[in-house]
């Protein structure tokens, strides 16, 4: 069974900043106020400047951690240079900063947009406040490995791996068991791409009777409640199915081209052929599922990262 991170791991520790600091939030406070007396002079002597923004990527992790989680997150997104991978990995052991990293990465990978701090805060607040609002259900968060825009979720989250069509996934659980994945991506301009509403199993889904009749309408309602400042864009189901089909076929071509195949290769070829056959069969159902958004209706078509999505009409 897939596992994620409980949403109560993310407390209300991120604060909005004044508009003039939105692009560089570390400018909204004095970092040296968190250090011992004489720290500014010591930094100037060590790095040739006391411009905190310019040296963030050169500072040891403990110097950033001393700022506290919220301020360290501001420093993390304000860096002007490339950070040390070891330092970044240590800093991102804090689940809040790790989520900030993923939100920032999400905006870049799906649109090449710089993440403004206040948008990050709004997305963070939306993620941690998501609530299915139906007794017996709870939610955990998962996301892709590294900086991937889609793919398998983090192995570190535990349990069976889950494929995500976007960066993030809400693992909806019924009495502690993962039963549905809500895949989504945060993009710039306060937009959420709803990319995946998928039952964890093809059979034995009696839990669905606990939800309103229209699953898509229910998911959209809950996303709107969690992200009141964001526009929700619904994926074109057929478009996403086509992308998945291309990925399956490309992988199949790669494995079949190997001159020497072991049993793992043969098993993967059989698996990929099954996935392709199942997807071909399911395309009409998938397309119909994502079009049926109930009372919300679908409005203007919007392309994001070359894929079709639809704004909600109501």
At 152-186, the pLDDT tens digits run 899 889 888 898 999 999 999 999 999 999 999 99
Q: How far is CA 310 from CA 97, 240, 292, in A?
A: 31, 13, 12
Backbone angles phi, psi at 280, to 5 degrees: -55, -45
pLDDT by position in tens, the chain (length 314): 789 999 999 999 999 999 999 999 999 999 999 999 999 999 999 999 999 999 998 899 999 999 999 999 999 999 875 555 677 889 999 999 999 999 999 999 999 888 999 999 999 999 999 999 999 999 999 999 999 999 889 988 988 889 899 999 999 999 999 999 999 999 999 999 999 999 998 888 999 999 987 999 999 999 999 999 999 999 999 999 998 898 889 989 998 998 788 898 898 899 899 989 998 998 999 999 999 999 999 999 999 999 999 999 87
Q: How far is CA 200 from CA 151, 161, 215, 252, in A?
A: 16, 11, 14, 24
Please state the pTM of the whole predicted model.
0.92
Residue 182 forms beta bridges with which residues?
A: 170, 197
Contact between residue 290 and residue 232 where contact means Cβ atoms under 8 Å apart = no
C-alpha 95/C-alpha 140 separation (Å) is 13
Q: What are the tokens at 266?
A: 């043969």
């Amino acid at each position: 069974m897939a596992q994620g991170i409980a949403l109560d791991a993310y407390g209300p520790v991120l604060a909005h900043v004044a508009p003039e600091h939105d692009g560089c939030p570390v400018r909204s406070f004095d970092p040296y106020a968190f250090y011992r007396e004489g720290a500014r002079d010591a930094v100037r002597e060590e790095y040739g400047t006391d411009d905190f923004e310019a040296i963030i990527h050169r500072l040891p992790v403990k110097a950033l951690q001393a700022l506290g989680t919220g301020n360290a997150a501001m420093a993390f997104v304000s860096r002007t240079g490339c950070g040390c991978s070891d330092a970044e990995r240590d800093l991102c052991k804090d689940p809040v900063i790790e989520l900030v990293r993923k939100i920032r990465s999400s905006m870049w990978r799906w649109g090449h947009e710089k993440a403004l701090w206040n948008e990050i805060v709004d997305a963070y607040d939306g993620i941690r406040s998501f609530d299915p609002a139906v007794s017996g259900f709870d939610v955990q968060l998962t996301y892709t490995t590294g900086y991937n825009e889609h793919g398998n979720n983090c192995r570190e989250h535990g349990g069976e791996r889950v494929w995500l069509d976007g960066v993030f996934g809400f693992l909806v659980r019924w009495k502690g068991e993962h039963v549905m994945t809500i895949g989504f991506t945060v993009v710039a301009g306060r937009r959420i791409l709803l990319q995946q509403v998928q039952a964890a199993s093809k059979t034995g889904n009696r839990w669905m009777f606990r939800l309103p009749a229209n699953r898509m309408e229910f998911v959209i309602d809950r996303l709107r409640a969690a992200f009141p400042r964001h526009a929700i864009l619904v994926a074109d189901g057929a478009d996403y199915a086509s992308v998945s089909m291309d990925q399956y076929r490309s992988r199949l071509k790669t494995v079949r081209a190997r001159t020497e195949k072991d049993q793992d290769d043969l098993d993967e070829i059989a698996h990929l052929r099954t996935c392709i056959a199942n997807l071909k069969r399911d395309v009409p159902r998938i397309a119909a599922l994502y079009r049926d958004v109930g009372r919300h209706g679908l409005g203007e078509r919007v392309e994001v990262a070359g894929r079709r999505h639809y704004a909600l009409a109501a």
